[in-house]
Structure formats: C-alpha cells, structure tokens
Amino acid sequence: MANLRRATLADTLRLMEIRFAVRENRLADPTSVTAADCSAFIARDLVWVAEEPGGIVGFSASNDLDGTIWALFIDPTDQCRGLGAGLLALACADLAAKGFAIARLTTDPGTRADRFYRRHGWKATGIGEDGEVQFEKVL
C-alpha cells in the first residue's frame, strides 16, 4: 500500500508530470497550471501525495481560499487501486480543518472522475459555463 504524506517542494516536478499524463480532464491550455501554482499549494501544506517504493504515484490538493478540491490525480499506470479515495479524504479533512462545511469541485461529465465522485458521496449541483459538472459534499 502507498504511503500518504504531505508534499514537499521537491515533489513539484513529479506532481506536474502526473497532472500532464492524465487521459481524462486534460487541460485545454497546459500553461494554465504551472509549477509555481503547485508549489504555492505545497507551501501552504495543502497537497498530499501517495508514494510507493518507486516514487510518487498520485496527489491531491485542496484550496483553502474557496473550499474546493484543486487537484486529485493518479498516474494512469496506478489507477483503480484505491489511492484516490485516500487522497481525497485527506484533502477534504484539510478543508474541514480550515472551517469549511462544504467542499466543492468540478470535473468533465461522463468521465471516470465523474463516476468516482458520485460513488464517494459527492452530489452534482449543476453544469458550469465551461460544461463541467459541479459537485458538492458536506464535510
């Protein structure tokens, strides 16, 4: 089983590799998420990683400014092993510790992520202007 730990700034490049390796929820503009963005969340202790002997295989990040899950990504070669559920729970716990009663996130409709969030108790609340499904979960 993977070790779940807080990310460090030294992890930034690996987290970016995982983010850009995903097959779903790909960024239309890859420059819209930068290493500096990722490092800023790490510096605020808002990023968790799943690490195995071979290295980091996934990560989650919460946003303490707006109560959202900013990221939850697993390396495509390591998906479907339960890592996402553990990482998501830690990101939600961080938001609850910051005083949020509800967590929010968005994802593309009809994707594995869409189904994952529904299975884990997230409720769809609408479709955003960008076409993504908007989800909420009581913490």
Query: How would CATH label the architecture of 3-138?
Result: 3-Layer(aba) Sandwich (3.40)
For 99-108, write each residue's pLDDT tens digit.
999 999 999 9
Q: Specify the 3-state DSSP secondary structure of 51.
A: strand
What's the pLDDT at 21?
75
Reading the block at residue 96, the tokens are 């609850």
Residue among 48, 69, 51 nearest 59 (CA): 48
Q: In whole angstroms, what is the distance from residue 53 CA to residue 81 CA?
A: 16
Q: In whole angstroms, what is the distance from residue 126 CA to residue 52 CA?
A: 37
So where are the chain's domains? Answer: 3-138
Q: Mean pLDDT across the stretch 8-33? A: 75
**What is this structure's pTM?**
0.88
